[in-house]
Chains A and B, each alone.
Chain A
Amino acid sequence: GDSVTQMEGPVTLSEEAFLTINCTYTATGYPSLFWYVQYPGEGLQLLLKATKADDKGSNKGFEATYRKETTSFHLEKGSVQVSDSAVYFCALRGGGSNYKLTFGKGTLLTVNP
């Protein structure tokens, strides 16, 4: 079945540091890939997505590129801010799956001033 493996946290960075959170996946067919963010006490929000190989999703300075050859969708940001502190989830939607999402376990990011 489909699965998502993402970098275990927690990750602690100083403000303006570079961020990478690794995500790899296993899926049949051609999945769509997502990054969701969960701020403290809130539900999940879509951060970015990519629906086919070599697509780059981007939003709020975050980027991730859909790499089919390495089955990866790593999240990056060049300069993190304190306000980026949150839990980040990588997820995939397999083809023909009634739009169900399979999530990774989440990575807690803390950014210190």
Chain B
Amino acid sequence: NAGVTQTPKFRVLKTGQSMTLLCAQDMNHEYMYWYRQDPGMGLRLIHYSVGEGTTAKGEVPDGYNVSRLKKQNFLLGLESAAPSQTSVYFCASYEEGGGKETQYFGPGTRLLVL
């Protein structure tokens, strides 16, 4: 049971390049989330999904797209990277029921946009 994994761990992009961040969870959770973490800002929700085939906007969705084609995977895309998207990105999945009510986080992807 690997929990939540993220690929890649670190990436450097040039302005205007595109990339996809992959999040995978093996816990059969319905809900998945993408956050970004910036100094002094805490974690801010980018997009989330309440089940396979669904996505919804979070607090800071502009410049990002997501897809949830399979229940275990949640992809975050940057179509045209900007320096303002330099950040650490965290994926999480949510376990409900049985009193657990816990979000499980991946280890993060550090992205630098030059």
In the complex, which residues of chain B have a beta carbon less than 8 angstroms from the beta carbon of A106? 42
In the complex, which residues of chain A have a beta carbon less than 8 angstroms from the beta carbon of B43? 44, 89, 101, 103
Q: Does B2 sit within 8 A of A, measured CB to CB?
A: no
CB contact under 8 A between A44 and B50, given known A49-B101, A89-B43, A93-B101: no
**Which residue in chain A gives the minimum CB-CB distance to B38?**
A105
Q: Is the CB of A43 within 8 A of B108?
A: yes
Q: Is the CB of B31 within 8 A of A43?
A: no
Q: Is the CB of A43 within 8 A of B106?
A: yes
Q: Is the CB of A98 within 8 A of B101?
A: no
Contact of B90 among A32, A44, A100 (CB under 8 A): A44
Main secondary structure of the interface of B (DSSP, over half): strand
Report the Cα distance A29→B43, complex, angstroms.
23
Report the Cα distance A29→B86, complex, angstroms.
35
> How many interface residues does B have (CB within 8 Å)?
24
Q: Is the CB of B48 within 8 A of A43?
A: no
How near does chain B come to A75, taking the closest CB pair, in angstroms? 15
Report the Cα distance A32→B56, complex, angstroms.
22
> How many interface residues does A have (CB within 8 Å)?
19
Q: Does A104 sit within 8 A of B, measured CB to CB?
A: yes
Report the Cα distance A32→B103, complex, angstroms.
12
Q: Does B77 sit within 8 A of A, measured CB to CB?
A: no
Over the window 1-22 of chain B, the binary record of Cβ atoms lying under 8 Å from chain A Cβ atoms (1 yes, 0 no) is 0001000000000000000000
Report the Cα distance A101→B32, complex, angstroms.
12
Q: Does B58 sit within 8 A of A, measured CB to CB?
A: yes
In the complex, which residues of chain B have a beta carbon less than 8 angstroms from the beta carbon of A89? 42-43
Q: Is the CB of A99 within 8 A of B94?
A: yes
How near does chain A come to B101, taking the closest CB pair, in angstroms? 6
Q: Is the CB of B105 within 8 A of A44?
A: yes
**Which residue in chain B gives the minimum CB-CB distance to A44?**
B105
A-B contact pairs, 17 of them (CB 8 A): A43-B90, A43-B106, A43-B107, A43-B108, A44-B43, A44-B105, A46-B102, A49-B102, A51-B101, A89-B43, A93-B101, A99-B94, A99-B103, A100-B48, A101-B45, A101-B103, A105-B40
